[in-house]
A and B are shown apart, each in its own frame.
Chain A
Amino acid sequence: MARITWKIENEDDVTLDVREGLTLMEAATDHDIPHIWGECGGCLSCATCHVFVDEKWFPLLDRIDDSEDTMLDMTDVERARTSRLSCQIKVTPELDGLVLHVPVPD
């Protein structure tokens, strides 16, 4: 288990204990976290699970591969330095305490 927090502008934070092995997209869609859809199920076709990883956590994640990097250019809210597609991040015990910021489209 790892405790993960999603911060959403103008809404309450959501904190969940997430099972190891799930992706952050799966954890988010299982709990209806707003603005995270995961329409393509995680096959890198839709870019609807975009998150901004908290600055201090970002360097601790595995690096972004080429495919994800490419799809990050397709997000609804424009990517930033700590952008990730949350379908590409599997939960491990090391992520306990991770904080994500959910981009809110206009």
Chain B
Amino acid sequence: MSDRIVVVGAGQAAASLASRHIATGAGHPMVLIGEEPVAPYQRPPLSKAYLLGKLDRERLNIRQPSWFEESGITTMFGSRVESIVPERKQVVLSGGETVPYGTLVLCTGSTAKRLPDSLGGTLEGVHTLRTLADADALSPILRQQERILIIGGGYIGLEVAAAARMLGMEVVILEVAERILQRVASPVTSDFFRDLHTRHGVQIREATRLARLVGSDNRVCAAELETGERIETGLVLVGIGNDPSTALAEQAGIACENGVCVDASCRTSDPAVLAAGDCTSFIRNGRRIRLESVQNASDQGDLVARVMAGENTEYSALPWFWSEQYDCTLQIAGLNQGHDRVCIRPGQKEYSQSVWYYAGGTLLAVDAMNDVKSYAFGRRLIEMGISPAPEQVADPGIDLKALVKAHL
């Protein structure tokens, strides 16, 4: 069937794609194949409200699970695609069954990096957190153990640290870099979150390298640091980033470079194959980037459906992100890579501030902590291509709304 669209992966990007596909009324038959045994769900709450038991399982669903079939989309949840055969335009499932496609869309997402076996990464009690199954495995243990050791001071590590503290656990974070969030944020933002967690009783150990995890009866019981220090723990969360899931694309000869390479219309190097979400990498402002975010997955998924329906459209959305830790909301607009200057705008209440990133006078990004206004106006300013002087932004007496309005 040459007009059949086969989507591999059933996360945020696939759900967005399916929704737009139905809305366009293009009518091509669609098959959605997901390795996880469930319909598309929201991942962000897995390290926040869901982990704390404050959000019901049903509420994670992006759409009602029955919506897909009711809309005429064939779903194969719990099916693993083993390979793509581009010459025959078909995918091969783990049972050997083949599914032919006219157009293939890769929404394979990313996979949490694990510690190698040699460092104790496969011991029981050592967890990662990306999928619902991961969260369901971790959640009950958070209520049983007294202490959790978190390897990696990135967003997942910090969010789980907050959840674990809220459940009364003792929390230790090990960060190999000089500071938490080093890869993604300015020192000011790192300082803010170090202070937030320290106030909540988390021990943060920066510039500290793990030597290995130690097990007893194949269960983790301690961590040894390079300094020789030993930390007893029965629970470890590894939050050291994700790898794009590119194995299928690579095996099919599709160009990959830190993700499946896509152009501005989400097309890959194979004309019959498109890709969306965490698994893709693309050029933005002359630099190849990959984004792990709801915004990117959702916007690229939407775009792919439009492109398949014949629209001539290109990806131009401004990236945005958020994180929630304790009662603090971090909102980020834009990408700060390449910044050469930051300025700080004090917020209007305690523990509220924003960090504005500039490159050569151009506003690139804003990290807003408990400051929705700075996030929203920052996002608008960046989208409008307006770069207010850092001195203006740093002055809390200057109304951001007025800066936006002045350019309308």
Contacts and interface: CB of A to CB of B under 8 A. Distances in A.
Given A31-B64, A32-B63, A40 B376 contact: no
Contacts of B295: 39, 46
Interface string A52-72: 000000000000001100110
A80 interface: no
Given A31-B64, A73-B380, A41 B42 contact: yes
Nearest to B322: A45
Interface string B37-59: 00000101100010000000011
Interface in A30-57: 30-32, 34, 37, 39-41, 43-46
A71 B404 CA distance: 13
With most chain A CB atoms within 10 A of its CB, the pick from B298, B324, B376 is B376
Contact of A67 (B44, B49, B372): B372
Given A67-B373, A70-B372, A41 B380 contact: no
A28 B298 CA distance: 18
A41 B67 CA distance: 20
Contacts of A73: 376, 380, 404
Classify the interface of chain B: helix, strand, loop or mixed.
Answer: helix
Interface in A9-39: 26, 30-32, 34, 37, 39
B324 A43 contact: yes
- Output the residue of B23, B45, B294, B372 with the most chain A CB within 10 A: B372
Nearest to B298: A39
A45 B371 CA distance: 11
A71 B372 contact: yes
A43 B331 contact: yes
A74 B379 contact: yes
Interface residues of A, number: 19
Contact of B372 (A30, A31, A44): A44
Contacts of A74: 376, 379-380
A83 to B, nearest CB: 14
Contacts, number: 53
Interface string B358-389: 00000000000000110111011000000000
A74 B401 CA distance: 13
Nearest to B368: A45
A45 B320 contact: yes
Contact of A66 (B44, B63, B373): B373
A54 to B, nearest CB: 25
A73 B295 CA distance: 18
Interface in B194-218: none
B42 A71 contact: no
B68 to A, nearest CB: 11
Contacts of A26: 59
A33 B375 CA distance: 27
A59 B320 CA distance: 32
A70 B366 CA distance: 15
Contact of B45 (A32, A41, A46, A71): A41
A67 B400 CA distance: 13
A36 B49 CA distance: 21
Nearest to A70: B376
Interface in B60-99: 63-64, 67
Nearest to A39: B294
Contacts of A32: 63-64, 67
22 contacts: A30-B58, A31-B64, A32-B67, A39-B298, A40-B294, A41-B44, A43-B331, A44-B329, A44-B331, A44-B372, A45-B322, A45-B331, A45-B375, A46-B295, A70-B373, A70-B376, A71-B372, A71-B376, A73-B376, A73-B380, A74-B379, A74-B380
Given A30-B58, A73-B404, 9 more contacts: A37-B298, A39-B298, A41-B45, A43-B331, A44-B372, A66-B372, A66-B373, A71-B372, A73-B380
Interface of B: 23, 42, 44-45, 49, 58-59, 63-64, 67, 294-295, 298, 320, 322, 324, 329, 331, 372-373, 375-377, 379-380, 401, 404
